[in-house]
């Protein structure tokens, strides 16, 4: 028995007290299981499943790290889009450049998207994701000549949505910039941008185009009032962006005409390196279609390719 001040406590009293304290203490929040996350964010996991299926389908055409294969399955690229493949502005967000790219984006999507889907709800989350992916595709076409694929533009849109939501939750801009969660997101954006510039071949145009669209759409969705007018203004601006990216009626000239003819030739004959590996898959139908489209728009280089073929 131990005594303190005016009261004495037996060993059994102390044991009972410790037990009560343990029961009354707040329990640590357990990390939800993958199944619980899937139930809480079905759209996030549904999109990840679509990406996996699209990747398995794409691999049937060849190695998805090859530019020619990416173009075959729907990668976004300026020349193809401007010649009429407008659907590439959206299809690219469901494709990936090899297994590593797919696995990383799938992992990152669960970390980034689950919380945003729970806040916005399934329909609004899907709207932000798809519009961000389209915005990333448009930015890629307008600002780069690269062949691009991946969900990163859409997912950066969700990162932008995270920032917009956090700003809504805080009383003013000063509190937003001081917020540890905001700083953490900004640091991560900076780290990945630096890695993309120095080590990996990332499409920053798609990333930041998607993030900008994600911020704007989420800001409109979470506005307490005046959404109709904001949606109207955004719709006009986004339509202008899409039209600028599609460039209907475009006629290739100079370097663009040469690039078009080059793509047509590559698909018509294919390319195999010295080790016998297919570097560019042969797709005669696609090559002829590119040359025909170019020739129809008055591109002499494309007409020359057709004359050789026929």
Q: Please, what are the domains in the chain? A: 34-246 (1.20.1540.10), 255-309 (no CATH)
Per the annotation, the verdict on 207 as an active-site residue is yes
Q: From first to last of its 310 residues, what are the pLDDT tens digits of the chain?
A: 444 433 343 434 434 444 443 444 444 556 777 788 788 899 999 999 999 999 999 999 999 999 999 999 999 999 999 999 999 999 999 999 999 999 999 998 888 999 999 999 999 999 999 999 999 999 999 999 999 999 999 999 999 999 999 999 999 999 999 999 999 999 988 988 888 777 677 889 999 999 999 999 999 999 998 899 999 999 999 999 999 999 998 888 899 999 999 999 999 999 888 787 888 999 999 999 999 999 999 889 999 988 887 7
pTM for this entry: 0.86
pLDDT at 4: 41
Give the active site residue among 91, 132, 152, 245: 152
pLDDT at 29: 55
Question: Nearest 5°: phi and psi at 27?
Answer: -80, 145
Q: 66, 67, 62: which is closest to 259 by C-alpha?
A: 67
Give the active site residue among 207, 225, 245, 271: 207
Q: Which residue in this structure is represented by tokens 């809504």?
A: 168
200: exposed, middle or buried (Cβ count in 10 Å: 0-12, 13-18, 19+): exposed
Q: H-helix or E-strand containing 42?
A: helix 42-59
pLDDT at 273: 81
């Amino acid at each position: 028995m131990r005594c303190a001040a005016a009261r004495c406590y037996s060993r059994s009293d102390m044991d009972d007290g410790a037990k009560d304290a343990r029961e009354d203490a707040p329990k640590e929040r357990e990390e939800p299981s993958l199944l619980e996350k899937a139930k809480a964010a079905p759209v996030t996991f549904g999109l990840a499943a679509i990406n996996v299926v699209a990747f398995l389908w794409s691999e049937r055409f060849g190695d998805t790290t090859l530019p020619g294969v990416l173009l075959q399955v729907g990668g976004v690229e300026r020349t193809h889009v401007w010649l009429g493949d407008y659907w590439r502005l959206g299809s690219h967000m469901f494709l990936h450049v090899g297994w590593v790219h797919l696995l990383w984006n799938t992992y990152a999507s669960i970390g980034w998207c689950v919380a945003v889907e729970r806040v916005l709800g399934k329909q609004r989350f899907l709207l932000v994701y798809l519009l961000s992916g389209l915005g990333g595709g448009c930015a890629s076409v307008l600002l780069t000549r690269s062949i691009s694929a991946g969900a990163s533009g859409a997912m950066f849109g969700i990162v932008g949505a995270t920032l917009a939501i956090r700003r809504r939750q805080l009383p003013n801009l000063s509190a937003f910039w001081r917020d540890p969660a905001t700083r953490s997101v900004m640091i991560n954006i900076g780290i990945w941008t630096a890695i993309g510039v120095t080590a990996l071949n990332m499409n920053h145009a798609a990333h930041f185009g998607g993030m900008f669209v994600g911020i704007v759409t989420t800001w409109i969705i979470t506005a307490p009032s005046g959404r109709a007018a904001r949606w109207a203004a955004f719709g006009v601006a986004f339509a202008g962006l899409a039209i600028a990216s599609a460039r209907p009626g475009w006629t290739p000239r100079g370097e663009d005409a040469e690039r078009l003819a080059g793509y047509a030739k590559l698909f018509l004959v294919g390319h195999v390196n010295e080790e016998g590996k297919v570097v560019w898959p042969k797709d005669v139908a696609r090559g002829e279609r590119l040359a025909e489209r170019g020739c129809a728009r008055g591109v002499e280089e494309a007409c020359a390719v057709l004359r050789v073929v026929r």
